[in-house]
C-alpha cells in the first residue's frame, strides 16, 4: 500500500513550483486542445504526455479545467501520494470518493499497526492492510467504487506479478467478508472486521509471500 501522508512543506513547495512554471503549463494545456468545460477534461488532461519541463503540469489540470475550488484542492493534494495513472484518473472523476478512499487506507493501516508495530511488504502486515482497506471501503463506499479503487491501485507496471496477485487476492477476500458482514449486520464496526481478518489468518485464507521476522 503506497499511500503516505507527507509533511505540509512539500505541498507548499509544490505550489511554489507550479506558480513558477504557470506559463509553461498553460501552453502545455493549450497544445493538448482539450475542452475545459468537458466532464472528462481533467481525466484527459492528466493523461497528456509530459517531459522534464512539464512534469508537474498535470497537478494544474483541475485549475485549467475550471473545477470547483474544493475539488481543485483535493485533486492537487492527491498528487502528493504516488498514485498510479489509473488512480489519478479516478481522483479526477471522483475527487470526494477518492479522498474518502485515501482516509480509509490510513484507517486500515492504523488498525493493522495495533497488532503489527512495523509495516512490511509481502508479509501478514501487508495482507492486513489490503484486507482491511478493501473491507472498510466496501462498507463505506459500496462494492462498485471499491472495486474501481482497488483495481486502479494495483495497476503499477513496476510491481512484480506475484506481489500483485497477493494484493488482489487479499483485496478480494476483504471485500467478500465485508459483503457477508453487511448481510448479517446493517453496519459493522472496525473491530468486527479486524476479528474477521484474524480468523482469516488462523484459517490460512490469506495469500502471504513472506514470513514475518520472528514469527513462529
pLDDT in tens, 157-198: 888 999 999 999 999 999 999 999 998 876 788 999 999 999
Higher per-residue confidence, 203 vs 78: 203
Query: Is 77's pLDDT higher than 70?
Result: no
According to the model, what pLDDT value does residue 74 have?
Answer: 56
| Contact between 112 and 128 (Cβ < 8 Å) | yes
According to the model, what pLDDT value does residue 112 have?
Answer: 92
Query: Any idea which of 31-35, 206-210, 211-215 has the lowest mean pLDDT?
Result: 211-215
150-178 as b/e: b if 16+ CB within 10 A: bebbbebeeeeeebeebbbbbbbbbbebb
Query: Is 12's pLDDT higher than 60?
Result: no
Calpha distance 63→56 (Å, rounded): 13
According to the model, what pLDDT value does residue 21 have?
Answer: 54
Give tens-digit pLDDT for 95-113. 778 878 888 888 898 899 9
According to the model, what pLDDT value does residue 70 have?
Answer: 54
Query: Any idea which of 15-19, 103-107, 119-123, 139-143 has the lowest mean pLDDT?
Result: 15-19
Kindly compute the dihedral angle of the four CA atoms of residues 210, 158, 178, 212, in this order, to the nearest 10 degrees: 20
- Which pLDDT band, with edges at 50, 70 and 90, does 61 fall under? confident
Query: Is 85's pLDDT higher than 80?
Result: no
Query: Is 91's pLDDT higher than 80?
Result: no
Query: Any idea which of 8-17, 24-33, 73-82, 204-213 has the lowest mean pLDDT?
Result: 8-17
- Which pLDDT band, with edges at 50, 70 and 90, does 38 fall under? confident
Calpha distance 115→181 (Å, rounded): 22
Average pLDDT of span 23-27: 87
Kindly compute the dihedral angle of the four CA atoms of residues 144, 109, 69, 17, in this order, to the nearest 10 degrees: -130
Calpha distance 104→134 (Å, rounded): 9
Mean pLDDT of the chain: 80
Backbone angles phi, psi at 4, to 5 degrees: -145, 135
15-53 as b/e: b if 16+ CB within 10 A: eeebeebeeebeebbeebebeeeeeebbbbbbebeeeee
Question: How far from the centroid of its chain's Cα atoms is residue 62's Cα?
Answer: 18
142: left (phi over 0), alpha (psi -120 to 50) or beta: left
- Which pLDDT band, with edges at 50, 70 and 90, does 127 fall under? very high
Query: Is 216's pLDDT higher than 60?
Result: no
Amino acid at each position: 500500500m503506497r499511500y503516505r501522508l507527507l509533511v505540509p512543506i512539500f505541498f507548499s513547495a509544490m505550489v511554489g513550483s507550479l506558480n513558477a512554471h504557470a506559463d509553461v503549463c498553460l501552453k502545455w494545456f493549450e497544445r493538448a486542445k482539450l475542452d475545459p468545460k468537458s466532464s472528462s477534461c481533467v481525466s484527459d488532461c492528466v493523461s497528456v504526455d509530459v517531459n522534464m519541463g512539464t512534469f508537474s503540469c498535470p497537478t494544474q489540470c483541475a485549475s485549467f479545467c475550471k473545477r470547483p475550488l474544493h475539488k481543485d484542492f483535493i485533486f492537487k493534494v492527491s498528487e502528493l501520494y504516488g498514485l498510479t495513472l489509473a488512480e489519478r484518473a479516478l481522483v479526477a472523476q471522483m475527487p470526494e470518493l477518492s479522498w474518502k478512499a485515501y482516509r480509509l487506507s490510513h484507517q486500515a493501516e492504523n488498525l493493522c499497526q495495533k497488532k503489527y508495530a512495523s509495516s512490511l511488504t509481502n508479509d501478514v502486515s501487508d495482507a492486513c492492510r489490503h484486507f482491511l482497506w478493501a473491507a472498510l471501503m466496501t462498507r463505506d463506499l459500496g462494492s462498485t467504487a471499491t472495486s474501481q479503487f482497488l483495481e486502479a491501485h494495483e495497476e503499477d507496471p513496476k510491481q512484480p506479478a506475484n506481489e500483485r496477485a497477493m494484493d488482489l487476492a487479499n483485496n478480494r477476500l476483504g471485500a467478500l467478508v465485508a459483503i457477508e458482514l453487511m448481510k448479517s449486520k446493517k453496519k459493522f464496526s472496525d473491530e468486527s472486521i479486524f476479528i474477521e481478518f484474524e480468523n482469516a489468518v488462523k484459517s490460512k485464507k490469506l495469500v502471504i509471500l513472506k514470513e514475518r521476522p520472528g514469527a513462529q
